[in-house]
Amino acid sequence: MRRDGAVSCLDRWGRSVTDLLATLQELEHLGVGFVSLTEALDLTTPAGRAMAGLLAVFAEFEREILRERVRAGLAQARQNGQRLGRPLTAALHAERVRRLHRAGTSKSAIARRLQIGRTSVRRILAAKEQ
C-alpha cells in the first residue's frame, strides 16, 4: 500500500501482456529487479516472471470480456431506441441564446445566465451562421 492509501496492483500494470513483457525487458536491461510486496511476487526469478505473465493474461482476458459486455449493452440500448451520449442540455437553450445575442448580451453573460458553457454558446451561434 502506498502512503496515500491507494493499493498498487500488478494486474493493473499487466493489462496488456505485450506491454508487461516489454516493461520487464526494459527493467532487466537497466539492471533493475522488480519485487511486488503486495502480491509477494519476485519478478527477478523465472517463476515470478511466469506468474506475472499469467496474471497479465488473465487481466487482459478480463478487460476483453468487459469490453464485449459494454459493446453488447450499447448495441442493445441502441436497438431499444435509447439515445446514447451526453444530454443535449445546451441545445435546448438554442433559441434563448440567439434571442439574447440579438439583444446585445455578451456570450459570457449568456452562458452565465443560462448556466451553460461559453463554448456551447459559441457553437450554437456559429451553427446559426452556417
pLDDT in tens, 17-64: 777 778 878 888 898 888 878 778 888 888 888 887 888 888 888 889
Q: Cβ(52)–Cβ(10) under 8 Å? A: yes
Confidence (pLDDT) at 55:
80
What is the pLDDT of the chain when averaged over all its residues? Answer: 83
Q: pLDDT (tens digit, 9 = 90+) per residue, 73-118?
A: 999 999 999 988 877 778 888 999 999 999 999 999 999 999 998 9
Whole-number Å distance between alpha carbons of 81 and 126: 30
pLDDT above 60: residue 124? yes
Encode 33-69: b = buried (16+ Cβ within 10 Å), e = exposed.
ebebeebebbbeeeebbebbbebbeebbeeeeeeeee
Q: pLDDT (tens digit, 9 = 90+) per residue, 6-21?
A: 344 555 665 677 777 7
Phi, psi of 108 (to 5 degrees): -65, -40
> DSSP string spanning 56-98?
HHHHHHHHHHHHHHHHHHHHHHHHTTPPPSS--TTGGGHHHHH
pTM of the full predicted structure? 0.52
Whole-number Å distance between alpha carbons of 67 and 49: 27
